[in-house]
Amino acid sequence: MNRIEAINSFINEEDRVVDVGCDQAKLSLMLAKRNMPSIASDISEKVISKAKSNISNPLIDFRVSNGLEMIKEGEANTLVLSGMGTHTILDILNNTKLRFDKIITISNNYHDILRTKMNDLNYKVSKEQIIKENNKYYNLIVFDNGNKKYTSEEIELGLNHVDNDMYKEYLNYLLNKYLTIKESSKDKNDKIDMLIDLLNNKIKSIS
């Protein structure tokens, strides 16, 4: 399963989707195959005109939009933000009054900050999935409305993972990565030590 297929698997027939940062609108194409309309938006005019010239499907509503600026209240209840960094995702959400029943993210970085700050915006983690595409791991997170008190393990390593085998593989990859960093650095790094402890405990608990 690739990233876009994974996002698609968390979308139900009744969801009204806006994909912000759609690029070539692969998700909207998948949704159209399910006979579902969606909004495919991107900040880049060039990207949208290229997507429009490749795809002509009445179920896809293309928009040039910085974040959610061109999306109106009531047009969508499910937001997809994939292939961008945590700070861009948070900027987009901090700059809108719109609320969503479901937000699906695949951030490139800082998943700990994403989980924490989304909680401040009253969006809590519902499910997570690790996807491996072209030998790279991606952390998909589905948020819904509400607030949660997370443990530090949940903030750092996520929770409610749907693919346990891939999650274990990812945890082992992270453990090796942090052990290598620790070995190659002369200085003590409390954050790396904390992550190594969390990873060792988590791997033990799910093996």
List residues binding ligand SAM (CB under 6 A).
3, 20-23, 42-44, 47, 66-67, 82-84, 88, 92, 106
Q: DSSP letters of the chain?
A: --HHHHHHHT--TT--EEEET-TTTHHHHHHHHTT--EEEEES-HHHHHHHHHH---TTEEEEE-STTTT--TTS-SEEEEEEE-HHHHHHHHHT-----SEEEEEESS-HHHHHHHHHHTTEEEEEEEEEEETTEEEEEEEEEES-----HHHHHH-S-BS-HHHHHHHHHHHHHHHHHHHHH-SS--HHHHHHHHHHHHHHHHH-
CB closer to ligand SAM out of 24 and 192? 24
* Nearest distance in Å: CB 125, ligand SAM: 19
Structure tokens at 55: 């795809």
CB closer to ligand SAM out of 106 and 171? 106
* Nearest distance in Å: CB 13, ligand SAM: 21
Structure tokens at 71: 């999306």
* Nearest distance in Å: CB 119, ligand SAM: 22
CB closer to ligand SAM out of 42 and 156? 42
* Nearest distance in Å: CB 155, ligand SAM: 24
* Nearest distance in Å: CB 7, ligand SAM: 8
CB closer to ligand SAM out of 67 and 158? 67
CB closer to ligand SAM out of 44 and 172? 44
